[in-house]
Amino acid sequence: MTGTLLRATQVIRRFGEFTAVDDVSMHVRPGEVVGLLGANGAGKTTLIRMLLGLIAVTSGRVDLLGGPPDRERRRRLGYVPQGLGLYGDLTVRENLSFSARAYGTAEPALPPGLTGQAGVLVRELSLGAQRQVAFLAALAHSPDVLVLDEPTSGVDALARAALWDTIRAQAERGAGVLVTTHYMQEAQQCDRLLLMSDGRLVAEGSEADIIGSTTAVAVRTGDWARAFAALAAAGAPVMLAGRAIRVANADPAELAGVLEAAGIEASLQPVPATIEERMLMLARQARAS
C-alpha cells in the first residue's frame, strides 16, 4: 500500500473525436471523504467508470488499491450507483443475499428502520428506504474503497443526515470515499473537493479553493422584480436569494449603472461567492468558447 486507495494519473478518455476526460490526476486516501463536483457533461461519470475499471483509459493510468482495477481488486470496492442497482422485483432480503453471495460475504443484518421489511419487494419501499438497502448491499463486505454517485438525492434532511453518518463511519474505519453530488450543502460534508469542467479538473481543495477568485454582489432593493428583470436583460448572471438578488463576478459600479438607468434604487454589497456561482461562471466560459 502506498497510502493511496484510488489514483488517476494524467488520465485521458476519448469517445471518437470527443474528449470526455482530459488529463485528470486525482487520488483518494484512506479515511477521507472526497467530493467530486461538476455540471452534466463535465466528465464525472466517465472518470468514475474508469476508476471502477468498467471502461478503459485512452491514455494515462488508473490504480485501485495499488494496481489496475481488475476483478480481484474490485472485490474490495463498494459502489452505489445513482440508480441504486437494486432489483425492484426481488425482496429486501433477496437483494441483500444476492449481493452478499456475489462478494462472498455474510448477509448483513437489517438496521432498526428496516426490520419487518425483509420480505417486501424493493420497488414498494420509499426512496429513502431503497437507499438504505443499496448502502447495506454495498457495505456488507467492508470495502476499502467506496464510490457513491449522488448518494442522498431525493431524501429528506433527517434521512440525509443518517446516510452521512453511515458514510462517515466508513471513513472512520479507514475506507476512502469518493462522492459525487449536485447538492452544494452536501459538498460541505466532504474533507476535500474536486471540481471538473469540460473534462478537466479545474480546482481542488477546500470550499474556498473551489470558489477561487469568483466574486459575487448582493443587490437589495424594495422592487426586486423590476431590478431582477433589468439586470437579466443586461445579460448579468442573476440569481434570486430570498428578497435579495445575487450576481456572480459582476462589477458593482456597472450593476449600479444598469439599475440607475432603469430608475431603481438599490444597495449593492460584495459578498462571498458560492460553489454554484463558480460553476455558473465556468459554464458561461464554456458556452462562450
Partner 1 sequence: MTYAVRSATARFGHTLALDDVTVEVPGGSVVAVVGGDGAGKSTLLRALAGEVSLDAGTVEAPPRQRLGYLPASSGSWAALTVTQNIDFVAGIYGLAGDELAARRAELLHRAALTPAAGRLAAQLSGGMRRKLGFIMAIVHRPALLILDEPTTGIDPVSRIDLWRLVSEAAASGAAVLMSTTYLDEAERAGHLVVLDRGRVLVQGSYDQVRAGFAGVVTQADRPVRPGWAWRRGRILHEYWPGAGASEPPAGATAVEPDLEDIIIALSLARRDTVWS
Residues that bind partner 1 (CB under 8 A): 37-42, 82, 126-128, 150, 153-162, 164-165, 168, 182-185, 188-191, 224-226, 228-229, 232, 238-243, 275-276, 279-280, 283, 287
C-alpha cell at 286: 464554456
Please state whether beta strands 77-80 and 145-149 pair in parallel, antiparallel, or not at all (unpaired): parallel
| Residue 255 grid coordinates | 450593476
Strands (DSSP E) contained in 106-255 are 145-149, 176-180, 192-197, 200-205, 215-220, 238-241, 244-248
CA distances from 278 to 42, 109, 203, 274, 282 (A): 14, 43, 10, 7, 6
Closer residue to partner 1, CB minimum distance, 10 or 285:
285
By beta-carbon proximity to partner 1, the closer residue of 56 and 158 is 158
Question: Cβ 110 to partner 1, closest distance in Å?
Answer: 19
Q: Work out how close the CB of 71 gets to partner 1 at its nearest, in angstroms, rounded to a whole number.
A: 31
Q: Residue 63 Cβ, how far from partner 1 at the closest point, in Å? A: 27
Which CB sits closer to partner 1, 57 or 146? 146
Closest to partner 1 by CB, 51 vs 187, is 187
Q: Which amino acid is located at 266 in the chain?
A: A
- Residue 104: CB atoms within 10 A of its CB come to 8
Nearer to partner 1, 54 or 169 (CB): 169
Shortest Cβ 219–partner 1 spacing (Å)? 12
Q: Which is nearer to partner 1, 76 or 226 (CB)?
A: 226
Q: Least CB distance from residue 128 to partner 1, whole Å?
A: 6
Give the strand order in the sheet containing 244-248.
Answer: 238-241, 244-248, 215-220, 267-272
Least Å distance between CB 226 and partner 1? 7
* Upper half-sphere CA count for residue 243 (Cβ side, 13 Å): 6
Q: Which three cell numbers stand for residue 61?
A: 493510468
